[in-house]
């Protein structure tokens, strides 16, 4: 998956290669994922402008993928207000003089570092691409990956467990059935704990009044994942490394953990590792675990338990009460540049997290099971899972 586009350019673009032929797909399915990214308490004015809609430009015919690269465009409606500033062609004379360069970097953003890297004198050349608007293309591509995973019985969902100082109840949840996913989707902070959700909204209101922004933590669950996906033989195969990379690549993410994560460092092994047990029911006897502190991964390989990951998002760098900065053109102290921004974007970030996890997991499934068509892929997965179930080594819940 690769993306292109600037925040106020004409469109955000996604190119996906390697999707098998025969996957049922339409832009309406992608649009539902795009819509989930735009909502959330604490979002800024940009979301009142954009009505993100996918346009599938290539790789799909008559509602099914062709096996060739898939190209998706999501138009930026706000582009009409930035035609001169974001013009592709060179401007001259009076038109060029009317475009004021951005020369004051925001602490916490890529403005300064990006300008140093590329030698830009106008920080807009950095902030337009470093903007989280880029993630709309990831969500579009991730929607295709989620659709593929559905065909092999894998679900990917996310929820918010912290915004600023407010956390949801922290009891251990082993099964996705322990979470009210309908309540997550109904919540404007994507949290199924109603008491915590109300406190999160209050914290966002207080931050808005103070000219502040807030970060938080979101949690991604994947279930229906069979054991044996990923690899331990080389660093590049390790699925935990790929998932840590995927979530860490999202703008604003400063920490990622799998399962019990950082808490494991303070505990003895007997309280960290998940003992095996045998369960017998009407479907027979099979191996499982009663805890999932490993988060579904051991040695870089899925172990048949749900994948559980968490990502910590820092507060948005753009503040309505800006921090101190320095004008790079005049080298004079000033206040940081202000762009339209969110107060908190953790509920939206969790949708991007779902997309990136789905992307990595879809790649891993294709690497293990192969198939140029969806029929081949599904047959291979079903045969593998059937063999595991026959031997009592794993059972899809």
DSSP string, 14-58: EEE--PPBT-B--HHHHHHHHHHHH--TT--THHHH----EEEEE
pLDDT tens for 47-68 read 556 689 999 999 999 999 999 9
- Sequence spans of domains, the chain: 2-390
**Stated length of the chain:** 397
Does 170 have pLDDT greater than 60? yes
User: Angle at Cα 188 formed by Cα 322 and Cα 49, nearest 5°?
Assistant: 60
Q: Where are the beta strands (DSSP E) in 147-231?
A: 155-163, 166-167, 216-223
Give the model's confidence band at 318: pLDDT under 50 very low, under 70 low, under 90 confident, else very high.
confident
Does 303 have pLDDT greater than 70? yes
State the average pLDDT for the chain.
94
Percent of the chain with pLDDT over 90: 88
Give the model's confidence band at 319: pLDDT under 50 very low, under 70 low, under 90 confident, else very high.
confident
Can you read off the two tokens belonging to residue 207? 């931050």
Write down the pLDDT at residue 39.
Answer: 86
Over residues 138-163, mean pLDDT: 98
Write down the pLDDT at residue 1.
Answer: 97
Write down the pLDDT at residue 150.
Answer: 98
Give the model's confidence band at 337: pLDDT under 50 very low, under 70 low, under 90 confident, else very high.
confident
CATH number of 2-390: 3.60.150.10
Write down the pLDDT at residue 44.
Answer: 66
b/e map of 295-326 (b: 16 or more CB within 10 Å)?
Answer: bbbbebbbbbbbbbbbbbbebbbbbeebeebe
CA-CA-CA-CA dihedral for 249, 321, 159, 50, to nearest 10: -80
Does 45 have pLDDT greater than 70? no
> Comparing 40 with 25, which gets the higher pLDDT?
25
pLDDT tens for 90-114 read 888 767 678 899 999 999 999 999 9
Write down the pLDDT at residue 43.
Answer: 76
Write down the pLDDT at residue 172.
Answer: 78
Write down the pLDDT at residue 129.
Answer: 96
pLDDT tens for 198-230 read 999 999 999 999 989 999 999 999 999 999 999
Write down the pLDDT at residue 91.
Answer: 83
């Amino acid at each position: 998956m690769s993306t292109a586009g600037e925040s106020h350019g004409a469109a955000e673009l996604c190119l996906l290669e390697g999707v098998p032929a025969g996957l049922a797909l339409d832009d309406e399915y992608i649009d539902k994922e795009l819509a989930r990214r735009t909502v959330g308490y604490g979002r800024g004015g940009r979301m009142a402008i954009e009505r993100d809609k996918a346009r599938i430009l290539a790789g799909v015919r008559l509602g099914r993928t062709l096996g060739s690269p898939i190209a998706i465009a999501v138009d930026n409606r706000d582009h009409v207000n930035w035609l001169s500033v974001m013009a592709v062609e060179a401007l001259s004379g009076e038109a060029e003089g009317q475009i004021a360069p951005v020369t004051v970097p925001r602490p916490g953003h890529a403005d300064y570092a990006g300008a140093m890297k590329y030698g830009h004198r106008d920080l807009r050349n950095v902030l337009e691409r470093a903007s989280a608007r880029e993630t709309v293309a990831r969500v579009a591509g991730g929607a295709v990956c989620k659709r593929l995973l559905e065909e092999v019985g894998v679900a990917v969902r996310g929820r918010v467990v912290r915004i600023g100082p407010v956390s949801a109840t922290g009891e251990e949840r082993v099964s996705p059935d322990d979470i009210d996913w309908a309540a997550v989707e109904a919540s404007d902070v994507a949290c199924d704990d109603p008491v915590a959700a109300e406190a999160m909204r209050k914290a966002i209101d207080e931050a808005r009044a103070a000219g502040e922004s807030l970060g938080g933590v979101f949690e991604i669950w994947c279930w229906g994942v069979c054991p044996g996906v990923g690899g331990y033989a080389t660093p590049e195969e390790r699925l935990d490394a790929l998932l840590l990379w995927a979530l860490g690549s999202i703008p604003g993410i400063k920490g990622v953990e799998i399962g019990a994560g950082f808490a494991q460092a303070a505990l003895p092994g007997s309280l960290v590792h998940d003992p095996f047990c045998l369960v017998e029911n009407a479907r027979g006897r099979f191996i499982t675990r009663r805890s999932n502190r490993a988060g579904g991964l051991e040695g870089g390989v899925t172990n048949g338990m749900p994948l559980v990951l968490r990502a910590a998002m820092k507060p948005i760098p753009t503040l309505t009460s800006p921090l101190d900065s320095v004008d790079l053109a005049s080298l004079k102290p000033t206040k940081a540049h202000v762009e339209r921004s969110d107060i908190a974007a953790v509920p939206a970030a969790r949708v991007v997290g779902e997309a990136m996890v789905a992307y990595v997991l879809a790649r891993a499934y294709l690497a293990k099971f192969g198939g140029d068509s969806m029929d081949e892929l599904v047959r291979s997965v079903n045969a593998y899972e059937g063999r595991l179930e026959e031997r009592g080594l794993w059972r899809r819940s």
